[in-house]
Amino acid sequence: MSSAAENITIQRESQPAHRVTIQLGRDAKPNALQANIPPSEFPTGVKDRFVVDVNGLTEELTDAFFEGIELMSQAFGAQLKRMPEANIAGLVSVLIPAKPARPTLLREAKMLAKGKTRILQSGDWLTAQEVAEVAGFKTVNSSAQTSKWKRSDRIFALRHEGVDYFPVYGLDPSTGYRPLKALAPIIQVLKSRKDDWGLAFWFGSTNSYLGGRMPKDVLKEDPALVLEAAKDEVCGVLHG
77-126, pLDDT tens digit by residue? Answer: 666 666 666 666 766 676 677 777 677 777 888 899 999 999 999 999 99
Domain boundary among 95, 116, 133: 95
**CB 182 within 8 Å of CB 189:** no
The reply to whether 215 falls in a domain is yes
Q: Same structural domain for residues 121 and 230?
A: yes
Residue 100 DSSP label: P
Structural domains of the chain, count: 2
Helices 128-135 and 143-151, packing angle to 10 deg = 100
Q: What is the pLDDT of residue 70?
A: 73
The reply to whether 75 falls in a domain is yes
50-67, pLDDT tens digit by residue? Answer: 555 566 667 777 777 777
Q: List the domain range (segments joined by +) for residue 83.
A: 5-95
Among 159, 184, 170, 162, which residue's Cα sits nearest to residue 134?
Answer: 170
Q: Same structural domain for residues 58 and 127?
A: no
Q: What is the pLDDT of residue 140?
A: 66
Q: What is the pLDDT of residue 165?
A: 97
The reply to whether 153 falls in a domain is yes
Q: What is the pLDDT of residue 104?
A: 79
The reply to whether 183 falls in a domain is yes
Q: What is the pLDDT of residue 173?
A: 94
The reply to whether 145 falls in a domain is yes
Q: What is the pLDDT of residue 164?
A: 95
Q: What is the pLDDT of residue 137?
A: 85
Residue 43 DSSP label: P
Q: What is the pLDDT of residue 86?
A: 65
Q: Same structural domain for residues 89 and 109?
A: no
Kind plus residue range of the DSSP H or E element containing 72: helix 59-82
Phi and psi, residue 55, nearest 5°? -125, 140
Q: Same structural domain for residues 115 and 183?
A: yes
Q: What is the pLDDT of residue 183?
A: 97
The reply to whether 115 falls in a domain is yes
Contacts of 129 (CB under 8 A, 6+ apart): 139, 142, 143
Strand order in the sheet with 48-54: 8-14, 48-54, 19-24, 34-36
- Cα within 13 Å of Cα(63), Cβ side: 3
Q: What is the mean pLDDT of the chain?
A: 77
The reply to whether 121 falls in a domain is yes
Q: Same structural domain for residues 197 and 134?
A: yes
**CB 180 within 8 Å of CB 220:** yes
The reply to whether 100 falls in a domain is no
Please state, in angstroms and rounded to a whole number, the distance separating the CA atoms of residues 20 and 53: 11
**Cα dihedral 200→203→204→210 (10° resolution):** 160
Counting as low any pLDDT under 50, the low residues of the chain are 1-43, 46-48, 239-240
Please state, in angstroms and rounded to a whole number, the distance separating the CA atoms of residues 174 and 18: 79
